[in-house]
Amino acid sequence: MKLLLTSGGLSNKSIINALADLLQKPFSNAKLAVIPTAMNVEIGDKSWFIKDLESLKGLGFESIDIVDISAIPRDVWEPKIREADILLFGGGNTYHLVYWLKKSGLSDLLPELLKTRVYVGISAGSIVVSHKISTSTSEKDYSKEIAHKDDNGLGFVNFNIRPHFNSPYFPKLTKEYVKELAGKIKEPLYAIDDKTAIKITDGDVEVITEGEYLKF
């Protein structure tokens, strides 16, 4: 299984090179599917999502598809997902993303799909690959219609991720905060900033950074 878990996306050359290494072919020959579902319930400005898409476009992929698994039925989204070489799960509300991964059935397909594809996570899309998503700062009970009681993630890695370390947009995510958070969970914790990613190749873990990270 090949995963690239980021805080701020493909934000620098080191992270882009890490994706190229996982992909093992030119971006111009690779199809990318972006799953934006996590952002649907976030309130306010979404210019960060547009910025992510602009960055992706600049890398020259063969094609970029947008596949919202909460908006279209499985017989529509599954062929789109299977067509892709890279599955990129964007940021937003972690609980909402986990809910739709499981409700749609994509969570059951991913272990098979990721035998031949690369998983890229941004923020919430990175948090969900852990066994638990308790490092998320997302609002859990934002909807009266959807009861988010499930703290279980996908379980692809044996550590937890806290993105946006030291970000001015997340002022409470300081060294002191993540140290306290690490003390509440059993598995190791990586706190990564927006210039850092964690690269996993068949269980081998490597930190890719032009910024700062902490491991507890």
pLDDT at 151: 84
| pLDDT computed for residue 140 by the predictor | 63
What single letter denotes the amino acid at residue 198?
A: I
- Tell which residue, 134, 140, 113, 104, has the closest CA to residue 2: 113
Q: What is the pLDDT of residue 141?
A: 59
CA 119/CA 151 separation, integer angstroms: 21
Q: Domain residues for 22? A: 2-215
pLDDT of residue 134: 78
Per-residue pLDDT, 135: 81
What pLDDT shows up at residue 145? 62
Question: Which pLDDT score is estimated for 144?
Answer: 61
Q: Are 118 and 88 in contact (CB under 8 A)?
A: no
| Strand order across the 2-6 sheet | 63-66, 31-35, 86-89, 118-122, 2-6, 196-201, 204-209
CATH of the domain at 48: 3.40.50.880
Distance, in Å, from the CA atom of 81 to the CA atom of 93, rounded to the nearest integer, reads 21
pLDDT beneath 50, residues of the chain: none
Q: Say how many domains are in the chain.
A: 1
